[in-house]
Amino acid sequence: MKIFQPITVKNIEFNNRVVMAPMVPFGLAKGNGTMGMELVRHYLERASTGIGLMISQAHSVTPDQTIDGVGVCSDAQLSELSTIAAACHENNVRFFVQLAYPGYDHNNGDTIDSLSENTLAKIEREFINAAKICFQAGCDGIELHGAHGFFLNMFSSALSNKRTDKYGGDLAGRLTLVTNISQGIREFSNDNFILSYRMGWNESIEEDIAMAQMLEKLGIEMLHISTGIPFNRNISVPDGFPGNDVVYTGTQIKERINIPVIVVNDIETIRTGNYLIENNLSDFVAYGKPFLADENFIVKSLHDVDYKPCLKCKNCQWFTNGKRCPVQLKLKKKSIT
């Protein structure tokens, strides 16, 4: 299956095209900015299972506020990320850290229009510093979180960015923040470090394609397509397409840019992911809850490409305490017996 075949981006070879999407294992972080051993162990358990690329949950770039308890601002976090990166590399797994700025959510009615240019210059430096820590930790790259209505997504969207200075206006202006961050990262990085961007959709696929093409021009090296602003939109997905509107959006962008694309959102099995890869609709396929439900999702899928560990419970336990996930409880009981 092509999804299990290697792919090379810059100087980095990925063992396969399977990605563990960035997800928050709620309740595991220490809450003081560092991950703590319980959360580190969560990643180490998955680092040994043959994933092509593992992307961490979002880490705050500023010491002022964490995101779900974690951030990337100091040597303490460098040590934790080094531990995870080393374990990944021992198992031929690549590791990206997702970076984000906390405290802003378009869906909560927040605004970025009143932030001063001096404040934004400081935030740019914080993103660059966080990426440098990841680089020093031996990570294979970082992913800027520009989706789901959060901070960078708010700047890129014409629906949320009403600024009249250099950080607003047309698409190029709305991407000024990302342009400056990208330039700063390229000053210290090399061909063994990838700059990825999780891109949120816009009001139309045509706008999505225009944004993706501009991100490619300004130096983004991989794109991970997800939801954005608006939260919901109506697009026509062809009959028989093996995925939802988010996945379809990613495949349309893939056709029109030259950098690798990751598609994601409710893709449940390796069979479906392989179809997308085999038909050149994507370069990578990301899975979320399958890896939360069973850290050995990819191992078991080698023997059963229709393996679907997530039960899609009405109230997902991972939003409160993943240890109560019924699949996790079943697997733990089985390992004991």
Does a structural domain hold residue 337? no
Confidence check: pLDDT of 46 > 90: yes
Residue 116 burial (CB count, 10 A): 9
Question: Could you give the C-alpha distances from 293 to 23, 236, 296, in angstroms and in order?
Answer: 12, 31, 9
- The pLDDT score that the predictor gives to residue 335 is 66
Domain that holds residue 23: 2-312
Question: Could you give the C-alpha distances from 298 to 153, 197, 215, 269, in angstroms and in order?
Answer: 31, 24, 31, 10
Question: Residues of the chain with pLDDT > 70: what percent?
Answer: 99
Does a structural domain hold residue 243? yes
Does a structural domain hold residue 335? no
DSSP β-ladder status, 7-9 and 12-14:
antiparallel
282 against 323, higher pLDDT? 282
237-264 pLDDT, tens digit per residue, is: 999 999 999 999 999 999 999 999 999 9
The average pLDDT across 303-313 equals 93
Does a structural domain hold residue 124? yes
321 against 92, higher pLDDT? 92
Report the chain's mean pLDDT, rounded to a whole number: 95
Confidence check: pLDDT of 159 > 80: yes
Residues 6+ apart with CB under 8 A from 174: 155, 156, 157, 158, 161, 167, 168
90-145 pLDDT, tens digit per residue, is: 999 999 999 999 999 999 999 999 999 999 999 999 999 999 999 999 999 999 99
Angle, helices 117-136 vs 75-90, to 10°: value is 40
315 against 22, higher pLDDT? 22
User: Which CATH number goes with the domain that contains 185?
Assistant: 3.20.20.70
Question: Could you give the C-alpha distances from 155 to 67, 100, 228, in angstroms and in order?
Answer: 19, 13, 11
- The pLDDT score that the predictor gives to residue 336 is 63
Does a structural domain hold residue 325? no
- In which residue are the tokens 């680092």 written? 47
Could you give the number of structural domains in the chain? 1
Does a structural domain hold residue 48? yes
Does a structural domain hold residue 211? yes
Does a structural domain hold residue 168? yes
CA atoms within 13 A on the CB side of 86: 9
